[in-house]
Structure 1
Amino acid sequence: MTLLFADGWFGPEPGDWQSVWLDRYPGSKRFVQDDWDSPVREDWVARLDEAIAEAADPPVLVAHSLGCLTVLHWLAAGGDRPVRGALFVTPPDVEENPEPALAGFAPIPRLRLPFPAVVAASANDRWMTPARARYFAGVWGAGFADIGLVGHLTGAHGPWPEGEKLVAPLLREDGSGIEKRKAPELT
């Protein structure tokens, strides 16, 4: 089974949890963006599409931060390559927390995911509140996991073994163990 890592703005950090997982899961891959610092949605989506096309089997996408929105925009643009599932880790709310460099990733797509997924949200992430993360999980039909007080879950957090428990059901042949959500009202 392939884990395909979609990193966020500024790219991977040395020793981050994605790098640890990359070593731990044989056949996994991290694809590289042409420009990590000045993201262009269409370019990022194109790199994701290429990486999925190159995967030997339908991958489980492990997306962090802006990588989450890249996956969503790929789907919104008609991305239809087979994907087994996705773990969305601390997606950024580019609508409520506008950042000029990320303006091309707004608005956040509101669509139903065609594969099982989990949204992992931090209780103290400056980029998205837990309420908004729970709302988007519902809109996308994804499970929701409160991962505690871990900020934006950057490389400083090391291996993140708790996250491996979230990706495990996605690696199952049938994707079982993921509870899909109805979209709650956002207050």
Structure 2
Amino acid sequence: MHTSFLIIPGYGNSGPEHWQSLWQQQDACFRRVEQRDWWSPQCSEWVATLERAVAASGPDTVLVAHSLGCGLVAHWAAQTRQRIRAAMLVAPPDPEGPAAELNIQGFVPVPELPLAFPSLVVASSDDPYSSLEHAHAAATRWGSRWHNLGPCGHINGDSGLGDWPQGRALLDSLLR
């Protein structure tokens, strides 16, 4: 059995310069979970889409989530009976901070239950959508390992990370 990686973008999807998109282009083991509507997310619909993707991918699946995708993973984990290998959760937004202005339905409150799989939360010290304190608290509640990346904005295409080799190293460390 080989490991499959499911890319889970957040609100608005991940553009061509986003590290998630670059990882997907560079490695056929990475597949994107495609949502029907990236701009008006409905939590229950996104959870159902992720549930189908994980079922098709199998138990040796690693979720690679960004932004609202982290909240999606928390909601999915609170409802599913499926098993996965691990999840890397990058830049989880504070749903009561600036992200609250986005048109996101049903994502608040974000489940606070410990995740039933190994996980790593990666956050930036100057993320406009979340404070380090919020991201660290989420990592603690979810039972996740924690990594402060330093000042990297929202850790997206605008952050200028390219294919983000440090992120791949963090993902590799999660899987060891």
TM norm structure 2: 0.91
Q: Give me the CA root mean square deviation.
A: 1.4
Q: Distance in 1 between matches of 2:116 and 2:7?
A: 18
> Structure 1 regions of 5+ residues with no counterpart?
173-187
Partner-residue secondary structure (3-state), 1:34:
coil
- The equivalent residue for 2:139 is 137
Counterpart of 2:37 in 1: which secondary structure?
coil
Q: Deviations over 1:14-55 (max 9, x none)?
A: 132112212333322111000001100011111111110110
Is 1:113–2:115 an aligned residue pair?
Answer: yes
Deviation larger for 37-46 or 50-59: 50-59
Task: Show CA shifts across 1:95-137 (max 9, x none).
Answer: 2342251252111110101111110001000111001111111
Partner of 2:82: 81
CA contact (8 A) 2:43 2:105 kept: no
* 1:36-185 matches, cutoff 5 A: 36-76=38-78, 78-97=79-98, 98-156=100-158, 157=160, 158-172=162-176
Q: Which moved more, 1:154-163 or 1:109-118?
A: 154-163
List per-residue Cα deviations over 1:153-178 (Å, max 9, x = no partner): 12132211111111002333xxxxxx
Q: What's the % identity of the aligned pairs? A: 40
Runs of 4+ aligned residues of structure 1 deviating over 6 Å after TM superposition are none
Report the number of matched residues: 171
Opposite residue 169 of structure 1, the aligned amino acid is: S
Tell me, yes or no, if the aligned pair for 2:59 and 2:82 is still in contact at 8 Å: no
Contact 1:60–1:170 (8 Å) recurs in 2: no
Query: In the alignment, is the contact (CA less than 8 A) between 2:42 and 2:105 conserved in 1?
Result: no
**AA matched with 2:170:** L
Partner of 2:26: 24
Name the CA distance, whole Å, in 2 between partners of 1:127 and 1:4.
23
Secondary structure (helix, strand or coil) at the match of 1:167 reads helix
